[in-house]
Amino acid sequence: MNSSIRRKLEEIEKTIRKLISQSESGVPIIVEGRRDEVALRRLKIQGEIICLKARGDSFHDFTWNLTGDREVAVLTDFDREGTYLAARLVDELTHMKVKADITAWKRLKALCRPDVRAVEELAEYVERLRRESASD
């Protein structure tokens, strides 16, 4: 594995560790669907993960249910729809005095595109990079 790919893996893992830390401190992570949640569990994120599309709530009801949280981490997909949802969540939640953190989303999007378009692909991508790194 060349050094640029190794550095990329290190940066991805550093970002995931920050997400794990946020999650352990009680910050819920918002994803789009159940397969995204499964991918994050494979990456050892054990805290609350809330699936936006799996609940059947309207967008307004979904965000309204988050008003008790002071902070959430937004981790929607990296495609056009996910980008739109992230911006909409940040806008709506900020208006409701909930801090919507998209730091990890921005970092992972920058590091993983174009190879990863959806959060559900993230665990497999990281595992592949780890295998390639180990075989060097």
pLDDT tens per residue, range 51-68: 998 878 899 899 998 888
Cis peptide before 28 (omega within 30 of 0): no
For 106, left (φ over 0), alpha (ψ -120 to 50), or beta?
Answer: alpha
85-96 pLDDT, tens per residue? 999 999 999 999
How many domains, the chain?
1
The CATH number given to whatever domain includes residue 116 is 3.40.1360.10
Which residue's entry shows tokens 């805290």?
47
How is residue 21 written in tokens? Answer: 């830390």
Instruction: Using alpha carbons, select from 72, 28, 73, 62 the residue that is nearest to residue 46.
Output: 28
Domain around 74? 3-134
What does the pLDDT read at residue 136? Answer: 63
Query: Helix or strand or coil: residue 99?
Result: strand
Q: What is the pLDDT of residue 132?
A: 84
